[in-house]
Amino acid sequence: MEQKKTVLIVEDEKNIVDILCFNLQREGYTTLEAYDGEDGLKKAQSEKPDLILLDVMLPKMNGFDVCRTLRKSHNNVPVVILTAREEETDKVLGLEIGADDYITKPFSMRELIARVGANIRRIAMGVPATSAAEGAMTIAGDLSINTDNHQVFRNGAVVDLTQREYELLTFLASHPNKVYARTDLMEQVWNYEYVGDDARTVDVTVRRLREKIETDPANPRYILTRRGVGYYFST
Ligand code: CA
């Protein structure tokens, strides 16, 4: 029996919480609820959910601050932002502060369930197997990845990556010099089909990854852009 995954819902609109709980439980998830940002943060830290659905406009502490605080404390739980607005700024800001994904309200329950599943699966697949034959995998220059414990080092110092950034880096690094279109990366790393404007999601994640692993993010050495095509890892 696979253990039930837990989803923490941080949302102040009771009717949305109810419908999310109902549908997630029907899909086999355990659900936790928080109706304001402070309580959401507290439960994220104490209950250790497998994923957080996080509204932006919340009493006491907004969703961005909740996410920012979690990431600052090195909590890399998958966070899916629920944004009420179509505004690009909300989506990009969410990703920049370390959210893994976003979904715009009103959302279809089917899409939401798919996103929750994709984000949890991605983590599950990333969990290393019990055997640990290979230790650190040095990849290039001053950068090395230890695939056993999911740590990335630059000049020997740990680089603090979100799960998504780690997945993107290891995916590109495991196929050096092969150029991937944004749509391919959405499918391979984000685990779901390309849906229109999500190319921006890839760009933002690449930018954040570069800021963490590159000496000069404006002139990257590892994650390079092939103009008009996509991204690749240069050895
Ligand atoms: Ca709200």
C-alpha 36 to ligand 1 mean position (Å): 9
- Return the pLDDT at 167: 87
Task: Give per-residue pLDDT as tens, 127-161.
Answer: 433 333 344 565 677 888 877 777 888 877 888 88
Distance from Cα 58 to the centre of ligand 1, integer Å: 5
What confidence score (pLDDT) does residue 86 get? 61
The pTM of this model reads 0.61
Assign 87 a pLDDT band (cuts: 50, 70, 90): low
Q: Are 92 and 200 in contact (CB under 8 A)?
A: yes
90 CA → ligand 1 middle, Å: 14
Q: Give the Å distance between the CA of 6 and the centre of ligand 1.
A: 21
Q: How far is the CA of 13 from the centre of ligand 1 (A)?
A: 6
Q: Are the beta carbons of 143 and 154 closer than 8 angstroms?
A: yes
User: 165 alpha carbon to ligand 1 midpoint, in Å?
Assistant: 28
Q: How far is the CA of 72 from the centre of ligand 1 (A)?
A: 23
Residue 223, class by beta-carbon neighbours within 10 Å (0-12 exposed, 13-18 middle, 19+ buried)?
buried
CA of 161 to the centre of ligand 1 (A): 28
| CATH topology assigned to domain 132-233 | Arc Repressor Mutant, subunit A (1.10.10)
For position 127, what pLDDT does the model report? 42
Residue 62 CA to ligand 1 centre (angstroms): 9
pLDDT tens figures, 171-202: 898 888 899 998 888 888 877 655 555 678 88
Q: Which helix (H) or strand (E) holds 82?
A: strand 79-83
Return the domain boundaries, the chain. 6-125, 132-233
Describe the crossing of helices 63-72 and 88-96 by its angle, rounded to 10 degrees. Answer: 20
CATH domain 6-125 topology = Rossmann fold (3.40.50)
How far is 202 from 189, CA to CA, in rounded Å?
9
Quick: pLDDT tens for 11-63.
999 999 999 999 999 999 999 999 999 999 999 999 999 999 999 889 999 99
pLDDT (0 to 100) of residue 134 = 43
CA of 12 to the centre of ligand 1 (A): 5
CA–CA separation, 83 and 175 (whole Å): 34
Task: Tell me the CA–centroid distance for residue 26 and ligand 1, in Å.
Answer: 24
Can you tell me the distance from the alpha carbon of 172 to that of 223, in angstroms, rounded to the nearest whole number? 8
Which pLDDT score is estimated for 20? 94
107 alpha carbon – ligand 1 mean position (Å)? 14
Residue 85's pLDDT is what? 63
Q: Determine the angle formed by the axes of helices 163-173 and 199-213, rounding to 10 degrees.
A: 90
Tell how far the Cα of 83 is from the centroid of ligand 1, in angstroms.
Answer: 9
